[in-house]
Structure 1
């Protein structure tokens, strides 16, 4: 993989073919999950589909990485977390959100379907919290303020509709020492200044001894110790 100027991309995965295949699998899983929540097929068709899914699952059976080992497609130094449940391009659970940053403000757009439904036709409130936690955390990280969520509060100003483009934003409100206060919002993409959800989070960089106790066993695929703990651990964002 190369950059726009033809130079090697330092953030490119070591196995580009595996990355392409994994992203394709995630896209297929998203289609399946959405269809499973909206199909009007009868029980016979649904049972047949379940058998096919189980057969496909068998194709991936075999040795699995331990949870303490990062996926081989991940590279924290390049801000790539491939299986993140919000922004991971290889995670079938993720929409995925793709972030960009302008003058320290992080933004993203996505259209969410029935897989994320809470009240009929609207986004589940817990999903709003999941998305905002990621947006605020990435906002902290890309501003050099990496930390773990210590407090997260949301105000639900109105229900978030499914099937319509949404705008997600995050910005730094204040920072002091190891603590940062980050705010953000979810709104309709065509009305970004009228938030449906407002969020505010406190992110704290753990002390070295806490980092060691939390992540002391984390390695990359080679076995090298690769704990998080710096702004490079954020999800990939596009600089605008």
Structure 2
């Protein structure tokens, strides 16, 4: 077992394998939206992809069971759709501590396209929700997304380095207000997207209800006791 940056142990070989598979899947997704090969080749690749799916489906976990590598206390979520190293959907984005909150650099390929050549607005919302949550976590604050507002100042170009920033604006009681931006890495002081979020600590009885069925990989009931990424259920957290 190997400790991560937070001191939480994990299986090093399994982490390397999950990361390798995630990288391969992201490459496959990227190639699938760029390819111009003929129909016969597309069908041949689809057959290979279905065979790979069957191999992975030979042993699966229920949605209520956390992956073996996940650690809610250390905020490690390997299949998170923004930060997860094992996710085919994630860029992935790696947030780090900054003077005022968190910061990350990334770029988005054509798999995330909305208008031609530009980032889908919903993806901006996804990554900014994650950024705000990461800022809350870094500040030691509990919270799940209760409100998320975005101002789209300019479109975000694809395949262009961008910088994401987020920080706590204010906090009181069970509520924390956060703000963040997406900007070009070349001009970080000029926001393309501005976000404002309200995160709320659910009352104890609601937390118990939301996570009543969540277990770790061994089957032990493991509800989150402080902020984790991507655990908010649909419908808000208040």
Normalising by structure 1, we get a TM-score of 0.91
Is 1:95 paired with 2:87? no
Deviation at 1:223, TM superposition (A): 2.0
CA contact (8 A) 1:137 1:146 kept: no
Q: In structure 1, how many angstroms separate the alpha carbons of the residues matched to 2:37 and 2:69?
A: 36
Shift, 1:104, TM fit: 4.4
3-state SS in 2 of match to 1:66: coil
Match of 2:40 among 44, 58, 66: 44
Match of 2:107 in 1: 111
| Greater alpha carbon shift after TM alignment, 173-182 vs 98-107 | 98-107
Residue pair 2:128, 2:195 contacting (<8 A) in 1 also: yes
Task: Pick the aligned partner of 1:195 from 181, 191, 195.
Answer: 191
Q: What is the match of residue 8 of structure 2? A: 11
Matched residue, 2:141? 145
| Deviation at residue 62 of structure 1 after TM alignment | 2.0
Check conservation: 1:150, 1:203, Cα contact below 8 A: yes
Alignment of 1:149-160 (within 5 A): 149-160=145-156
The 5 Å alignment of 1:17-96 reads: 17-96=13-92
* Offset of residue 189 of structure 1: 0.8
Which stretches of structure 1, 4 residues or longer, exceed 3 Å deviation after superposition? 1-4
Q: Which has the higher contact order (CA 8 A, sep 6+)?
A: 1
CA distance, structure 2, for counterparts of residue 82 and residue 129 of structure 1: 20
CA distance change for structure 1 residues 100 and 56 in 2, over 3 Å: closer, same or farther? same
Report SS of the residue matched to 2:56.
coil
For 2:47 and 2:162, locate their aligned partners in 1 and report how far apart those are by CA, in whole Å.
35
CA contact (8 A) 2:105 2:185 kept: yes
Q: Deviations over 1:84-108 (max 9, x none)?
A: 0000011111000001012341011
Is the alpha carbon distance of 1:118 and 1:3 closer, same or farther for their aligned partners in structure 2, counting shifts above 3 Å? closer
5+ residue gaps, structure 1 = 236-240
Distance in structure 1 (CA, Å) of the matches to 2:119 and 2:56: 32
Unaligned runs of 5+ residues in structure 2 are 231-238
